[in-house]
Amino acid sequence: MSVVIIGGHDRMVCQYRDICKKYGCKAKIYTQAANNLECLIGNPDLIVLFTNPVSHEMVKIAKKTAAQKAIALVQSHNGSASSLRTILNSRVYV
């Protein structure tokens, strides 16, 4: 399963990647805005959107891309490791 994480905290990138690896997921993580974010997202199985620590523009791009490509989108206000585990527990069977 491939996952794109948008938002979250810069200092948590390694933890996000490790958590995804434990669930057997390949992860792309974007905590900062990129010029071509729409292209970078690609066609993952799931987009995780941490809404608190992210710009409004990144939220718009994530929602628009998910709607256009019929990608599952899960939003969480909190960008914690626990939130990511909870999301992956509900989506991935270990």
Between CA 42 and CA 65 the distance in angstroms is 9
What mean pLDDT is reported for the chain? 92
Give 93's pLDDT tier (boundaries 50, 70, 90). Answer: low
Fill in the DSSP letter of residue 60: H
At 44-88, the pLDDT tens digits run 999 999 988 788 999 999 999 999 999 999 999 989 999 999 999
Between CA 60 and CA 43 the distance in angstroms is 17
Cβ pair 16, 8 in contact under 8 A: yes
Domains observed in the chain: 2-64+78-91 (3.40.50)
Q: Which helix (H) or strand (E) covers residue 20, if one does? A: helix 13-22
Cβ pair 54, 6 in contact under 8 A: yes
Cβ pair 71, 45 in contact under 8 A: yes
pTM: 0.91
